[in-house]
Amino acid sequence: MKKMVFLGLLIVFLPVMVFAQEKVEAPVWNVGDKWTFTGDGGIEVIKVDQNGYILKFSDKNCLFERQECSAILFEKATRNRINTVEGEKHKKYVMGLSKIFNFPFSIGKQWKTAGYSGKVIMPAGNYHYHDYSEDFKVIGSDEIEVRAGKFKTLKVEYKRKLIGASSPSMAMIGEEIKHQYWYSPHAKYFVKCEYDKGWVKEDKEIFNWELTSFQLKK
C-alpha cells in the first residue's frame, strides 16, 4: 500500500521536478505569432531573419513593457533586445528590460544589465534623467491560470534600482522596485506580470497584466 502511495505521489510531482531541472531554451517564433493581454495590449512577430525577430507592440500595451518603442528586434539565441525599429531604420536599444528574456532559463539562474538612463517628465513639463541598475533571477516554477488558460511556467523576478539622477534632489537614490514575470514554454511568451504595488498605485499607466489569448503559427 505504501509503495502504491509513493508511486502515486511520484507521478504527481515528477512533471514539476523535471520542468524545474530542465533548461528552457529560446522558443521558435514565426511571423504571425500573436499574444493579447489585459488592457487591450498586443504583441505580434512581424519579421524573422538572420538578425533575429522583430516584434511589434500595440499602442495600448502597458507603457513600461513597450519602453516607448513600437517595434523591437530581439536577438535569436538569447532574445535580448538589441535594436529599436522604425521602418528600415534600426537603432541600438538603450532602454530598460533589454534582458528580460535571457535564454536559456533554469531555476536559480541570475543575470543583470549594465543599466540604463530614463527620462522623467515633471508636472511643470521640465525633465531630468534617472540612472537604473537591473537584476533578474528565475526564482521557481508555477502552474498558474490566466484568462488564456492554465500554464506551467517559470517565474522570473526583476529588480530595478535607482542609482543616480541628473537632479539628485528630485530622486530617491537607492529606491528599488520589483516585478514578477511568469514565462510559459507552451505559449512562448510571458503569460502574467505583477508589478511592485506602490509603483502601480502611483502611475496609472503601469498595470498588472495577463495573457487573454494567443496564436502561434507553424
What tens digit of pLDDT does each residue of 79-121 get? 999 999 999 999 999 999 999 999 999 999 999 999 999 877 6
- Candidates 67, 63, 102; CA nearest to 84 is 67
Q: How confident is the model at residue 11 (pLDDT cuts 50, 70, 90)?
A: very low
- The reported pLDDT for the residue numbered 14 is 41
CATH 3.40.50 is held by the domain 2-24+33-215:
no
Q: What is the pLDDT of residue 118?
A: 81
C-alpha cell at 75: 536577438
Domain ranges of the chain: 2-24+33-215
Percent of the chain exceeding pLDDT 90 equals: 64
The burial of 65, by beta-carbon neighbours within 10 Å (0-12 exposed, 13-18 middle, 19 or more buried), is given as buried
Name the residue with higher pLDDT: 65 or 31: 31
Q: pTM of the prediction?
A: 0.87
The pLDDT score that the predictor gives to residue 3 is 47
What is the rounded distance in angstroms from the CA atom of residue 74 to the CA atom of residue 6?
45
Average pLDDT over residues 207-217: 95
Contact 131, 113 (CB under 8 A): no
Average pLDDT of the residues of the chain: 87
